[in-house]
Amino acid sequence: MQALRDRIERAAASDMPILLEGESGTGKDILARILHRQSPWKSGVFVKARCSSIPDGLDQLLESSSDMIAAAPEVGAKTLPTACYGTLFLDEISESSPALQTRLLRFLQGGQFCRINLKHCKLNLRLVCATNSGLEEAVDQGRFRRDLLYRINVLPMRVPPLRERMADVPELVNYFLDLLTSGPCDVKRPSKRMLQLLSTYTWPGNIRELENLMKRYLVFGCEEAVCEELLARAPKEATQALSEPGSVRLKDITRKAVRELERDAILKVLQANQWNRKRAACVLNISYRALLYKLKDTGMAADPSASRQAEGRAANTAAV
């Protein structure tokens, strides 16, 4: 995310089209607004449109958009300039119609800006597009124009899903709790057990799913309900005991589920960091000693590549 932030700061000053790629709920809309606020035309208009609901005439949409004029304080009905600048954010660009794609390509052929002549003024809008699906696949399937892809994919930026940055989960939890309660208050902060579950869940809905979960936590005020919801989505192996005859202990099931989630999370982080255990411990926000203990407790090898190298050296020695 730090690398993405650096790319955004560099790209914001440019007038070149930007393509934000990422799963639904990763915050592409927020990044588009940050790009606009850090751009030289931040005092201009910011126009957001969802391509799945845009009519084929993009210029008609902008002409009828009163929100666009209201977005620029210095632009009013009586003082419209001959030309105004801003940002055009097209969300779900992969769902745009063929007619809209043709119209958009025509706008972009004149240069980096999307230049649109309206009745009152001429708009020079820097284009920011977002997609949660692969545009290359859409091109192969004939649903998206290849020449338009080349026009909008000048500065591509991939927004990573939440499962690739699990160390951000505690920070995001505190952020949403402060935001939803209008600042710090007496709301009960999640326990270590709840944070552990939150940090090992895969989050298919990404940050939006986490935000909605925090809303439910605040409304119902029950941490057990949140933990039960997360455990219900845990690996099936952790809950198979429920179907077995005889009595079961909820604590045993919970402990097993957490252990499985921990193992999966540690394995993914180790693989992402080339099995560098010290770096993985920092990413997981635990001590190096705690990581070694968990590796031993879960039965995982500390470094499978090192084990293979050691076996190879032993075989070579025996052959000699």
Least confident interval from 193-197, 232-236, 284-288: 232-236
Backbone angles phi, psi at 121, to 5 degrees: -160, 175
7 and 154 inside one domain: yes
Is 319 part of a structural domain of the chain? no
Q: Give residue 211's pLDDT.
A: 93
Number of C-beta neighbours around residue 75 at 10 A: 19
169 & 152 share domain: no
What is the pairing mode between strands 18-21 and 122-131?
Answer: parallel
Examine the domain organization and report whether 152 and 181 are in the same domain: no
| pLDDT on residue 178 | 87
Highest mean pLDDT pick, 26-30, 134-138, 216-220: 26-30
261 within a domain of the structure (yes/no): yes
Instruction: Assess if residue 304 is contained within a domain.
Output: no
Average pLDDT of the residues in 277-281 = 86
Residue 44 scores a pLDDT above 60? yes
Q: Is residue 223 part of a domain?
A: yes
Q: Token match 């009163």: residue?
A: 66
Per-residue confidence (pLDDT) for residue 39, from 0 to 100: 92
Share of residues in the chain with pLDDT > 90 (%): 22
In this structure, the answer to whether residues 29 and 88 fall within a common structural domain is yes
The verdict on residue 310 lying in a domain is no
Specify whether 92 is located in the same domain as 196: no
pLDDT digit string, tens, across residues 110-135: 666 666 655 555 667 888 999 988 88
How many structural domains is the chain composed of? 2
Half-sphere exposure of 301 (CA within 13 A, CB side): 9
Specify burial of residue 276 (Cβ count, 10 A radius: 0-12, 13-18, 19+): middle
- Collapse the DSSP code of 84 into the 3-class scheme (helix H, G, I; strand E, B; otherwise coil) and give the result: strand
Any alpha helices (H) in 247-303, and if so which ranges?
Answer: 250-272, 277-284, 288-298
Same domain, 89 and 219: no
In a domain, 312, yes or no: no
Residue 308 CB neighbour total at 10 angstroms: 11
Please say if the pLDDT value at position 66 is more than 50.
no
* Residues 126 and 224 placed together within one structural domain of the fold: no
The answer on pLDDT for 77 being more than 60 is: no
Residue 320 lies in a domain: no
256 pLDDT above the threshold of 80: no
Residue 305 maps to a domain: no
pLDDT in tens, 196-248: 888 888 888 999 999 999 998 888 878 888 888 887 776 544 444 444 445 55
Residues 208 and 186 in one domain: yes
d(CA 131, CA 148): 14
Contact residues for 43 (Cβ-Cβ < 8 A; gap 6+): 72, 73, 74
Q: Among the three residues 160, 178, 207, which one is the final residue of a domain in this structure?
A: 160
* Final residue of a structural domain among 112, 142, 160: 160
| CA proximity to 172, closest of 223, 132, 222, 212 | 212
Strand bridging mode 122-131 / 155-158: unpaired
Compute how many other C-beta atoms are within 10 angstroms of the C-beta atom of residue 307: 11
Write the DSSP assignment of 179-221 as a string of letters. HHTTSS-SPPPPPHHHHHHHTTS--TTHHHHHHHHHHHHHHH-
Q: So what's the pLDDT on residue 299?
A: 63
> 122 is in which domain, residue-wise?
2-160
The CATH number that applies at residue 79 is 3.40.50.300
Local confidence band at 251 (pLDDT 50, 70, 90 cut-offs): low
> Based on the domain organization, do 203 and 142 belong to the same domain?
no
- Please check the confidence at residue 71 and state whether its pLDDT lies above 50: no
In this structure, are 99 and 244 located in the same domain?
no
Between 312 and 299, where is the model more confident?
299
Do residues 170 and 156 share a domain? no
pLDDT in tens, 157-184: 999 999 888 889 999 999 998 888 875 5
Please identify, among 137, 160, 183, the residue that sits at the C-terminal boundary of a domain.
160
* One domain for residues 16 and 154: yes
DSSP line for 140-171: HTTSS-HHHHHHH-SEEEE---GGG-GGGHHH
92-103 average pLDDT score: 86
